[in-house]
Amino acid sequence: MPLIQVSIAAGRDEDQLRSLVTELTDATVRAIGSRRDAVMVIVTQVEGTHWATGGTTLADKKATREATDGGDGDPGDGRPLVL
C-alpha cells in the first residue's frame, strides 16, 4: 500500500490540491502497478514562516521579491510566481 507524503508551501486552493493528489496517484499506478484505491497521499501545507531554504524563510523571500518587483507579487518576466 503506497503512502506518498508531500510538503508544500501553504496557499494552494482546493482544486490545485485535488489535482496534485490525482496526478500523484496516477503516476504511482503507472510506475508500480499499484491498485488506485491502495494509493494513499498526504499533503501537508507549510506556512512560509515555518519553511526555510538557505537560512531564509519562504515568507522573507516572498517579501524581498515583492519589494523588488513592484509589490504585486508578479516577477514581471512572464513566469508564474512560485514559492
CATH number at residue 53: 3.30.429.10
What is the domain count for the chain? 1
The per-type count for the chain, helices as H runs and strands as E runs, is: 2, 4
Residue 35: what pLDDT? 98
Residue 82 inside a domain? The answer is no
Kindly give the confidence (pLDDT) of every residue in the chain, 83 residues in length, as a single tens digit, with 9 standing for 90 and above. 999 999 999 999 999 999 999 999 999 999 999 999 999 999 999 999 999 999 999 999 999 988 887 655 555 555 555 55
Residue 69: what pLDDT? 76
74: left (phi over 0), alpha (psi -120 to 50) or beta: beta
Residue 66: what pLDDT? 87
Known active-site residue 75? no
Terminal C-alpha separation, the chain? 31
Residue 64 inside a domain? The answer is yes
Residue 60 inside a domain? The answer is yes
